[in-house]
Amino acid sequence: MREMLSEKEAGEIYKQRKIDVEPVFGFLKANLSFFRFSVRGKLKVENEIGFALMTVNLRKYTAKINKGIRIIVWKLKNNIYNKFTTNQNLY
């Protein structure tokens, strides 16, 4: 195993895995308290991990949508403020 990991290509794959995969499982454990499966059987475990990962994806999606909404609201507020201050200066 050490020989395999010491190869350059395997090392690059392992580095990428730490970036892509490990944070998701850390998030499941830390934020969703998902430490062990509550069912038995391969199909049921696949379903349970599917629901857990779907939850992570939905949280990411809603965070992205909320960020976009906050940006839009911020732009609208700045636009209204700029129009108000510009109109104030004209009078």
Cα separation, 22 vs 58, in Å, equals 18
pLDDT at 45: 94
Helices (H) and strands (E) in the chain, counts: 4, 0
pLDDT at 15: 82
**9-32 average pLDDT score:** 83
pLDDT at 86: 64
pLDDT at residue 3 greater than cutoff 60: yes
Joined together, the tokens standing for residue 8 give 């350059």
pLDDT at 84: 67
pLDDT at 44: 96
pLDDT at 88: 55
Contacts of 31 (CB under 8 A, 6+ apart): none
